[in-house]
Structure formats: C-alpha cells, structure tokens
Chain A
C-alpha cells in the first residue's frame, strides 16, 4: 500500500517554535558508538589488569604474551586435531616464562576472570532486560525469585555434603524452579500479566528466602553453616574451567538472543497493548526474553553465588552513558557489567590477605552509586 503522506505542510500553531536547528544530522547522543567502543577497551584493560594483579607478581607485558600465545597454541591444536597434521606454526611463541607463571595466569587467573566477566555481563544484561520488559527502572535481576531459589539449591547441596559442581548445578536448577513457580502463579490471574508476574516473584522470593533461613537454622554451625553463609555472600574463588564450562554455552546463547532482540525491547517497554498493536507477538516475545534473562541470572548465580546490585546499577549507568535506546544500552550493559564485576573481584582477592566475599563489595559500592544515580536521573523518571 502507498505510504500515507500529507502534501502541503500545514501552517499550524506548532510551527511558531520551529527552528532551523532541525537541520542537524539526526544523530542521537553524538559519539554513542564510540562510547561502546571505549567500554570495550575498558573491559580489555580491566581484564589485563586482573591477570597481573595478585599475590604472585607477573608483569603486564608477560601477561599479554602468555594469553596471546596460549590462544594461538589452542588454535594450532584445534587445526592439528581437525586436519590431523601437527604443524609448527609461525606464530608459536617460545616460552620464556616459568611454568609457575604460566599456571598462575593461564590456569588460575584467566578462567576466573572469564567466569567473572560472563557473570557480570549476564547479571547486567538480565537486569537491563527485566527493567525494559517490566517497564520499571527499579527492578533487578532477582525480581522473579531466581537468587532466592538458587540460594536454596546451594544450601541444600551444601547440607548434603556435595562438591562444588553439584552445588552449582543445584543452585542453577533451583533458581529456574523458583522462576517457574513464579510463572505458574502468574498464569492463574489473567489480567495485567506483567504486574502479577512481579508480585508472584516477590511472593516466591520471600518463600524461598524463608527456606534458606530454615536450612541455615538446621545446618551444623561449625562446618555447614559457614559454607552456606559464604556461598550466599558470593565468591568466584571456586570458579574453575572444569565446573563452569558447561554453563558458558547457556550464557552465550541466552545473551545472543537478547542482543538480537534488543531493539524490540524498546517497543515492549512501551507496554503490552502498544507492543501488540505495533505487531509484536507479546505472548511469545515476553516469555522468550524473560527466560533468557532468567537463564543468565541463574548461570551467574550458580558460578559466583548471590551477587547483589550489579543488575540494578549497571543498566542505569549504561542508560546514562548511551541513552535509553536498548539497541546501544544492552551492548553497553554487557561491556560495563563485565568490567565492573571483574574490577570488583580483583579488588576482593587483592585488597586483603583473606579474600573478601564479592557481594559485600558490590553492595558497599552499589548503594551509594545508586543514590547518586537516583539524584542524577530524578528528572528523567518523574
């Protein structure tokens, strides 16, 4: 059908405030692309810093060489595996560093850094997505009860004397279980699905928190209780490749789906009715996006325990940096969430001789940051 246009611009009363500044280039937030690029450089910077910081000193240049050569060697191995020919690649870098240094950087610090970055990005994206879908800038990634559920799963596994792998799996499964219950409750009431879902999340979160308290109460106060408490305060000390390698695809796929759908989050944040009248199948779109965010949160929590504030604050900072358009904002959240959590985790393991639980630091930093953001963004919300 022909485009509907109206010939002959009407000389309305609106034209009085017409200015020639509309000749501007119609670009929003000049330099928004470069802000995301700067955030990418920031992530790389934080990553390198986190690899050379720690009790075992390694200089930054060596760190970069170890990582680059490690990646190239893995690529070489892969090619050798596929083609069956082992070739000495020209990029093979002679190991001029000790085995210990190699182990510290490649086997200890790098897997942990990758886990932290994925968890931080996941929490931030999932918070950003929830805020968009629920049209509320004050919801965070734990709104549907996933953190409380994961806490129950982890506490149960700890009580049953299970190893790290089982604790993580149990946390993941119970996190998803809690959100499923939230969904089931919300299905009972058919009016205003978004509001009912949030309320159901509060109910389920409350219930599962009570179960956590019960499990803490019955736990052996000398052996089990400290483990539960420490898990709930969050830590990446036990994040090793073997454990979280299964979680990586979950995080990457869920994140990819949200990245692909990110522009449509703008439309859904205008409200269900409006989104549907604009052609979005909200009955399909909303659950898909919520399930992906939930998977991201559950995955992050099962690697690092309950980590507060990241999913609330990072989306706000991203919005401040690149504007409210989810097309840019989601990317900024990924980059900033990863950098932020990795910086915090690096502080946690280097500040004192004993590692500080990460959630303590994210909360101490998060509360005043949020206060500042509320103050700054007051105008945009009112």
Chain B
C-alpha cells in the first residue's frame, strides 16, 4: 500500500488539557508537495508545526510518517526523516557558520562522536547549495536575518531529511531575501522533499505552494490548491480585513493578493 510521506489524522492538541489549540485536523503531504499554512496570529500554526516533528505530543489523533506513527520513532530516527527550521533567533555563543551547519549532521552521528571530515564536506556542500560558502567562518551571531535564514537552510540540507518543516521562513526578511527563500523552497520540493510551512503572506502561496490550508479557530477553514483556496472570501474570513485578489498580465502573469485599505 502506498502511503503519504506525512499524514495527519484527526489531530487535536492542547497545552493545558482544557483549551484546544487545534482540533480534529487532518491532511497529508507527499514528496514534492509544498503545503502552506496561513492564518492569523495565535491560531496555532507554529504549534501544529511543532507537533509534526513531535516536539509536542498530540492529545488525540495520529501523525504518520511513511505509514508509521511518529511516537514510534526515536528522536534520532525522526530527525533523519523530518527537518525543522525554526524562526531565526540569535544563539548565546558565537559559533561560526560552518559549525552551525555541521549541527545538522547530529542525527547521523554516534552520541559520543564529533563530526568527521565527511560530515564537514557535506556541510560545506550545503553551504555551496545556498550560495553562502564565502561566509563559512563568520560568527553566526553577527549575521543579518537573511543570512541566518540561509544558514538554517544549509543546516537542514546537511541533515538530509525527507520532510521539511519551516516556521515562517519569510518573516523578518526583506523582499529580496523573501523571494530568494521562496525560490529555495521551490527547488527543494522539485528535489523530492515534502515541505510544510507557515506564512503570513497569502500572496506567497501563489508563488510556491502546491497546497494551502487556512487555519482559523482551531480548524482549517479551507484546504486545497492555492488557486482554489486563496480567495477574497476566505482571506476576509481568516484575517478580518478585505483582501483583493487580482490577476496581473504582462511581465508578472499571476494572481496577487493585496489588502484593501479604505479611510
């Protein structure tokens, strides 16, 4: 039987056991998919993402990876399947870029071992892939937000997972870096990874996503291809402000989503 790479069945989660953050959520993601979760602040998008890599265990429902329940994976085995790119933050110690990227090799290492030369080569290859080889020895703490995002991308490439979770990869980035990140996401999905990401930019779903879920009030308000789901009506429901979707011809040749502001 063929099973989806990542399958979520009737997932319910609550921090305190009283108030559910989300309930009865189901979806599946396959190799090559980019599933983008939209929704207002505080709807539990990031929480859902953390449940997907077992940082928080579900209260009800299942998460299956290649048909096996996520709780049956050891942390190490899970990290070989799923990579997680958290929102960028500055760590305490000024590790160099290459040291941070080598941390991606952790699940492939013996607990008592340090990375080998081969691990270092893989990390360097990952840096080359995201075009930041030249900053390999810079302290990670002194990088710009865009560079940090790329380093985390490189780290997850060095981790070699099959599923990739990204928590708001385009927040805190300037427009140039946003588009660069979206292009990276597209390339990764073409290489056969299954991607799940959260975003605050409905417009980006037209650029990168094969599938969109709009989260509101503990559930998905709508789910499906971006063309079908990202509508003026759904966005108005989710965000509470009017958002216009227009098709632009000529050089752009795609739909764009822009908020409408009336005085």
Residues of A at the B interface (CB closer than 8 Å) are 1-6, 9-10, 12-15, 17-19, 21-22, 24, 26, 28, 132, 135-137, 260-264, 266-267, 269-271, 273-274, 276-282, 319, 323-325, 327, 380-381
Say whether B95 faces chain A, with CB atoms less than 8 Å apart.
yes
How distant is the Cα of A282 from the Cα of B176 in the complex, in angstroms?
36
CB–CB B150/A14 < 8 A: yes
In angstroms, Cα B87 to Cα A277, docked, is 13
Assembly CA distance A325 to B210 (angstroms): 40
Pick from B74, B78, B104, B114 the residue with the most CB of A within 10 Å: B114
Chain B residues contacting A319 (CB-CB under 8 Å) are: 93
Cβ contact within 8 Å between B55 and A273: yes
- B94, chain A: closest CB distance, angstroms: 5
User: Does B129 make an interface contact (CB < 8 A)?
Assistant: yes
A10 adjacent to B125 (CB under 8 Å): no
Least CB distance from A19 to B in Å reads 6
Query: What B residues does A260 contact at CB under 8 A?
Result: 112
A1-B162, A135-B91, A324-B95 known; A279 vs B133 contact (CB < 8 Å): no
Q: Considering the complex, give the chain A residue whose CB is closest to the CB of B139.
A: A380
- The complex places the Cα of A263 from the Cα of B119 at a distance, in Å, of 13
**A12, A17, A19, A380 — which one has the most chain B CB atoms within 10 A of its CB?**
A12
B122 within 8 A of A: yes
Query: Which label, helix, strand, loop or mixed, suits the secondary structure of the A interface?
Result: loop
The verdict on B255 contacting chain A, using a C-beta distance below 8 Å, is: no
A266 proximity list for chain B (CB < 8 A): 93, 95, 99, 103
Query: Are A14 and B132 neighbours in the complex by a CB distance under 8 Å?
Result: yes
Bound Cα distance from A369 to B84, whole angstroms:
40
Partner of B115, one of A5, A12, A15, A263: A263
Give Cα distance in the complex from A24 to B113, angstroms.
26
> Which single member of B84, B157, B180 contacts A4 (CB below 8 Å)?
B157
Docked CA distance A271–B107 (Å): 16
Q: Judge whether A277 and B53 touch: CB under 8 Å.
A: yes
A136 to B92, CA, bound (A): 7
Q: Is A269 touching B92 in the complex (CB atoms < 8 A)?
A: yes
- What are 25 residue pairs bridging A and B, where the CB atoms are less than 8 Å apart in the complex? A1-B162, A2-B192, A4-B160, A5-B125, A6-B129, A6-B187, A9-B128, A9-B129, A13-B176, A13-B180, A22-B136, A26-B120, A26-B137, A136-B92, A266-B93, A270-B100, A273-B86, A277-B84, A277-B86, A279-B107, A319-B93, A324-B95, A324-B99, A325-B96, A327-B114
Scan residues 78-132 of chain B and give those whose CB is less than 8 A from a CB of chain A. Answer: 78-80, 82-84, 86, 89, 91-96, 98-100, 103-104, 106-107, 109, 111-115, 120, 122, 124-125, 128-129, 131-132
Which residues of A have CB within 8 Å of B184? 6
Indicate if the CB atoms of B98 and A261 lie closer than 8 Å.
no
Q: What 10 A-B pairs are tightest by C-beta distance, nearest first?
A: A279-B79, A279-B107, A277-B84, A263-B114, A324-B93, A260-B112, A22-B134, A278-B106, A279-B76, A135-B92
| Set B93, B95, B137, B191: member contacting A5, Cβ < 8 A | B191
B75 interface contact, C-beta 8 A: yes
Q: Which residues of B contact A261 (CB under 8 A)?
A: 111-112
Query: Within 8 Å of chain A (Cβ to Cβ): is B71?
Result: no
Known: A17-B134, A135-B91. 7 other contacts (CB 8 A): A13-B180, A26-B136, A135-B92, A261-B112, A271-B89, A271-B91, A274-B86
Q: Is the CB of B86 within 8 A of A278?
A: no
A24 to B124, CA, bound (A): 12
How far does the Cβ of A115 sit from chain B's closest Cβ, in whole Å? Answer: 28
Are B134 and A21 closer than 8 Å at their CB atoms? yes
Tell me the minimal C-beta distance from A309 to chain B in angstroms: 20
- B78's nearest neighbour on chain A, judged by CB, is A279
B55 in complex: contacting residue of A14, A19, A264, A276, CB < 8 Å = A276
B159 within 8 A of A: yes
Q: Which residue of A lies closest to B82 (CB)?
A: A277
Q: Which residues of A contact B193 (CB under 8 A)?
A: 4
In the assembled complex, which residues on chain A have CB atoms less than 8 Å from the CB atom of B128? 9
Question: B86–A6 contact, CB under 8 A?
Answer: no
Question: Are the C-beta atoms of A324 and B94 separated by less than 8 Å?
Answer: yes
